[in-house]
């Protein structure tokens, strides 16, 4: 296991293994390892690739794209928007739960742990996978963006269709990447404002992402996502 961020699971290593040997990724690994040796870094090394571990490559039916990991204690565990049980639910996730209720009638639980979604085929990927404690965006432009772009590309190049959910302008900048990689042109892309309190009322609330995801899956003859979360 790398001191920086553990190992990619086999299904993902098969499609991203070449990426791990590239100079930028070696440099990224060195940067994160050094950061861990001198400061607190979230999430723990064994959870950096949690999104890949809980949602194997061939199992991805939906990708929800986040940005920077949460940077306060015990929050980040490798899945975007998700926090560990017992941690206060962040505002953006509270807004997700509000839309979940109005869209498909499902009440959000009293925790913010979204692993059940990941295990049902919803990949919860941040574009940057590590962060210095209490210092937002501190690991941006160190190589993670290049890696997460490649993740998006290998999924978009897959013959089996999936739904990309892009909330907010940073995520929506990935749309051309998806369109270029998707030679089959058959994926569904759902665009809306970010669920952050700063923008949720300007195009996230009422966007019905959960029902739209399931409508797309049903249109392909695939089972819908069970969006309920265990208490």
DSSP structure string for 183-198: TT---EEEEE--SSTT
Q: Are 195 and 171 in contact (CB under 8 A)?
A: no
Burial per residue of 28-45, b for 16 or more beta-carbon CB atoms within 10 angstroms, e otherwise: bbebbbebbeeeebbbeb
- Active-site annotation, residues: 68
**In whole angstroms, what is the distance from residue 54 CA to residue 61 CA?**
13
Residue with tokens 């607190």: 40
Closest C-alpha among 131, 34, 37 to residue 77: 131
Burial class (CB in 10 A: 0-12, 13-18, 19+), 104: middle
Which DSSP helix (H) or strand (E) runs through 68? Answer: none
Residue with tokens 């929506």: 172
Q: Are 214 and 163 in contact (CB under 8 A)?
A: no
């Amino acid at each position: 296991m790398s001191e920086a961020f553990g190992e990619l699971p086999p299904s993902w290593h098969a499609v991203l293994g070449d990426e791990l040997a590239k100079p930028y990724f070696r440099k990224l690994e060195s940067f994160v390892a050094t950061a861990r040796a001198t400061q607190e870094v979230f999430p723990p090394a064994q959870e950096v690739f949690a999104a890949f571990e809980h949602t194997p490559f061939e199992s991805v039916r939906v990708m929800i794209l986040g940005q920077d990991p949460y940077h306060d204690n015990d929050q980040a565990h490798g899945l975007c928007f998700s926090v560990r049980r017992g941690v206060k639910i962040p505002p953006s996730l509270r807004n997700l739960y509000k839309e979940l209720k109005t869209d498909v009638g499902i009440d959000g639980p009293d925790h913010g742990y979204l692993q059940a979604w990941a295990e049902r085929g919803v990949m919860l990927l941040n574009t940057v996978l590590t962060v210095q404690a209490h210092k937002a965006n501190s690991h941006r432009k160190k190589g993670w963006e290049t890696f997460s772009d490649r993740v998006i590309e290998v999924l978009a190049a897959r013959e089996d269709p999936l739904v990309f959910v892009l909330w907010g302008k940073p995520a929506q900048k990935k749309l051309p990447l998806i369109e270029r990689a998707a030679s089959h042109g058959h994926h569904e892309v759902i665009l809306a404002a970010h669920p952050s309190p700063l923008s949720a009322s300007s195009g996230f609330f009422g966007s019905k992402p959960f029902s739209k995801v399931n409508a797309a899956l049903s249109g392909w003859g695939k089972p819908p996502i069970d969006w309920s979360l265990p208490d």
